[in-house]
Structure 1
Amino acid sequence: MQHYFIGVKLPIELSRQLVHSRDRWQLEQSHKKLPPAEDLHITLVYLGAVEGGKLKSLMQALDDIDSLKTMIVTLSGVSTFGNPATPRVIYAAIEEQPKLIELQSAVLEKCLDLSLPVDTKKFVPHITLAKKSRGQQEHFSKDMHIASNKFTVKEFSLFSINPGVIPSYQAIHTITLKD
């Protein structure tokens, strides 16, 4: 069954800058998956498998999120999930943005209203740069830096996940935020 998530796609110029920085760190030695620039995003809600009928209902529910406005999101450095010596994920951190938290909460609420099986862990906005640690060596370094950068979030999308294809994530329904 097809898997899905709801997220914010990054502007391609910013994605390319992040991949360029990441490539200098040689993370392919420590991590199995390094997403291409075209796949960089902020996950709002991961859904997993969703049946067709619920997918249509979800699209309609997401269209009803109309009170939220565009927002500026700022990158705030590099961080990790998991053991700091051999982190399972290395990511670009995002400065706290109340409007992004509000958007994620509204999306999560719509998913829960439809009884979709979603992860309800605390939302940590981030952009995954490397995942699936090989666990062999310490590779996260305090010297990993990314340029401070800002971008405007004007929309969010429901994405299908297509493993083995680049880009792996395809927007199948996009919701535009108000100016």
Structure 2
Amino acid sequence: MKKHYFLAVPIEEKQRMILQNWIHNHKSSLPFKSWVHPEDYHITLAFLGDIEQHSKLIELTKRVNETLKNDQQFEISLKGIDVFGKAESPRILWAGVEHSVSLNHLQTRIVKACEETGFQLDRKPFRPHITLARKWNSVQPFIKFARLDEVFNDQPSPSLVSSIHLYQTNLDQIPKYEAINIFPLKRK
């Protein structure tokens, strides 16, 4: 079984708990086929796909270390729940984050490091999000309930981005994402 790799921001425990609490309160009315394990919550910066050459991972690790050597930690906050896909039958339920210049800048630089290492990346615009569930699984259409996009406005939820992880996907395990390299950011 091929393994896929990606670079991502891991989600801190306190934000995972906020998301889990929201899911606990709404899951019965949201029949998605699969729910993401809380330890797998992350914000993807660059999806690398299958990597057949170990030397490419070594080169990427060096380049990402160099790219991040002066980057400082920063905070992000949860903002809303939304979907990707057809309105009546979405493929992804996700939690968003407040706009962050630091996060956007970091993602741009990570993509550049990956491309300089020879990776062909998807060039869709960056939409930072945390996937919560996949594949609507009901004959009834999905109905976007009131305030879906304002779910976390009443709860302060800043979280520290203190590292970037290089993850490997293990489809036969739960949780399925394994951090095979951690790139720490400097403390302020």
Shift in Å, 1:57 = 0.8
144-153 or 114-123, which moves further after superposition?
Answer: 144-153
Write the letter of the residue equivalent to 2:172.
G
Shift in Å, 1:29 = 5.3
* Shift >6 Å, 4+ stretches: none
CA contact (8 A) 2:87 2:142 kept: no
Give the alignment's Cα RMSD to 1 decimal: 1.8
Q: Who is 2:124 aligned against?
A: 121
1:105-157 CA-partner distances (Å, limit 9, x unpaired): 11100111112122111000011111122363233433443444110101111
Aligned partner of 2:64 among 62, 65, 81: 62
151-160 or 44-53, which moves further after superposition?
Answer: 44-53
CA distance in 1, matches of 2:82, 2:28: 14
1:138 aligns with 2:146: no
CA distance in 2, matches of 1:69, 1:27: 40
TM superposition score normalised by structure 1: 0.91
Shift in Å, 1:31 = 1.6
Aligned partner of 1:174 among 182, 185, 188: 182
Q: Who is 1:162 aligned against?
A: 170
1:87-118 CA-partner distances (Å, limit 9, x unpaired): 21111111110010011011100111112122
CA contact (8 A) 2:71 2:185 kept: yes
Q: Who is 2:106 aligned against?
A: 103
DSSP-derived class of the 2:86 partner: coil
Shift in Å, 1:9 = 0.9
1:133/1:93 Cα in 2 relative to 1: closer, same or farther (>3 Å)? Answer: same
Shift in Å, 1:32 = 1.6
Shift in Å, 1:15 = 0.9
CA contact (8 A) 1:74 1:94 kept: yes
1:28/1:5 Cα in 2 relative to 1: closer, same or farther (>3 Å)? Answer: farther
Write the letter of the residue equivalent to 1:117.
Q
TM superposition score normalised by structure 2: 0.87
Shift in Å, 1:48 = 0.9
Amino-acid identity (%): 28
Q: In structure 2, list runs of 5 or more residues that go unmatched.
A: none
Q: Who is 2:19 aligned against?
A: 18
Q: Who is 2:6 aligned against?
A: 5
Aligned residues: 179
1:55/1:29 Cα in 2 relative to 1: closer, same or farther (>3 Å)? Answer: same
